[in-house]
Amino acid sequence: MLHMLEFHSVLYMQNNLFFSRTGKITYFQVWLMIFGELEIFVTYFLVSSNQLAPLA
């Protein structure tokens, strides 16, 4: 779980850096943001249902 969150934060930082360089939002960035939010929601749902509790 920690791995997934670290991966998401790295993607998010790279996304912000890319956005600050170009000054415009691309479809790839929108897809990354949506995918990141879905990933966090799914991870939170699994943890709240105690399926990943031993791994957390």
Run means of pLDDT, 10 residues per run, the chain, 56 residues: 58 61 67 81 78 56
Instruction: Report the distance separating Cα 46 and Cα 42, nearest Å.
Output: 6
Phi, psi of 22 (to 5 degrees): -85, -35
What is residue 45's predicted lDDT score, i.e. its pLDDT? 80
What pTM was estimated for this model as a whole?
0.34
Between CA 46 and CA 37 the distance in angstroms is 14
